[in-house]
Amino acid sequence: MQKDTFEISSPQLGNRRPVDVYLPDSYGTGRNRYPVVYMQDGQNLSDPAMAFAGNTWHLEEGLTWLAKHGVEPIVVGIHNTGVDRMNEYSPFKDPNNGGGKGSRYVRFLIDTVKPRIDTTYRTETDRARTVIAGSSMGGLISLYAFFRRPSPFGGAAVMSASVWFGGRKILRFVERSRRTGGRLYLDVGTSEGAGELRDTRTLNRALRGKGYREDALRYVEAQGHQHREADWAWRLPQALEFLLREG
């Protein structure tokens, strides 16, 4: 697996951050184009020296599993900015935690990051082959980006999303949004707490109520899993296989 890293400026947010690009092993052996997964909290994906508390998503192992199952994406890990992470990953303000820069952050992904990736690498640019993914607050902003129109993301991995943030306004946002085509993967660990489990079940019901069925929505309650990178790492390959499998 080849990893490229570059820094990118955000005119939407007035800051800079690193971006890591993970290329499949087959990337250098042909001229094929590849689907793309845009992942939040990019510094947590593979390097213990950079990851939160040294815990990573073990991305290389996950991509190896995916390749054996016929799915080879380019993964783009957008680093968070530390102190401003919650502000950028929150589409709505929270009375106790602030936030509310989520719309500008999504514009940064769409108008700045994605064009850079598409012009630099051999990507499949159609919406069905473009996925956004994240956990916790990263899961919240990924869900928002999927429904925010217009959206280039035809799939979203929404893992242990912080539905609680901003008084659960994301639930009302989803209910009021137009149903959009594509696939959604939604999950929660059963050991993340009663509130997290309740909120995710409510979100699942809201999505089912919008008409998302088994072919477009996979919902997982992972037994015994907690709110941590090790458990998200275990679930990520199956999530991406569902979102990117053809047919």
Where along the chain do its domains lie?
Answer: 2-244
**With bands split at pLDDT 50, 70 and 90, how would you rate the model's confidence at 246?**
confident
75, 37 contact by CB (below 8 A): yes
β-bridge mates for residue 220, sequence order = 187
- Say how far apart CA 242 and CA 109 lie, in whole Å: 23
Name the average pLDDT for the chain: 96
Q: What angle do CA 185, 186, 192 make, to 5 degrees?
A: 145
245, 71 contact by CB (below 8 A): yes
**What are the pLDDT digits (tens) for 160-218?**
999 999 999 999 999 999 998 999 999 999 999 999 999 999 999 999 999 999 999 99
Mapped onto helix, strand or coil, the DSSP state of residue 159 is strand
Using the predicted structure, report yes or no on whether residue 78 has a pLDDT greater than 70: yes
76, 19 contact by CB (below 8 A): yes
The DSSP code sequence of 123-135 is: B--SGGGEEEEEE
Cis bond leading into 11, ω under 30°?
no
| Contacts of residue 214, Cβ cutoff 8 Å, sequence gap at least 6 | none
Token couple for 138: 């990263």
β-bridge mates for residue 6, sequence order = 19
How many residues can be counted in the chain?
247
Average pLDDT over residues 22-45: 95
CATH topology of domain 2-244: Rossmann fold (3.40.50)
- Say how far apart CA 38 and CA 226 lie, in whole Å: 23
Which DSSP category does 112 fall into?
I
**With bands split at pLDDT 50, 70 and 90, how would you rate the model's confidence at 238?**
very high
Which of 150, 119, 87 has the alpha carbon at shortest distance from 21?
A: 119
Residue 213: exposure state from Cβ atoms within 10 A (0-12, 13-18, ≥19): exposed
2, 28 contact by CB (below 8 A): yes
pLDDT, residue 98, reads 87
**With bands split at pLDDT 50, 70 and 90, how would you rate the model's confidence at 62?**
very high
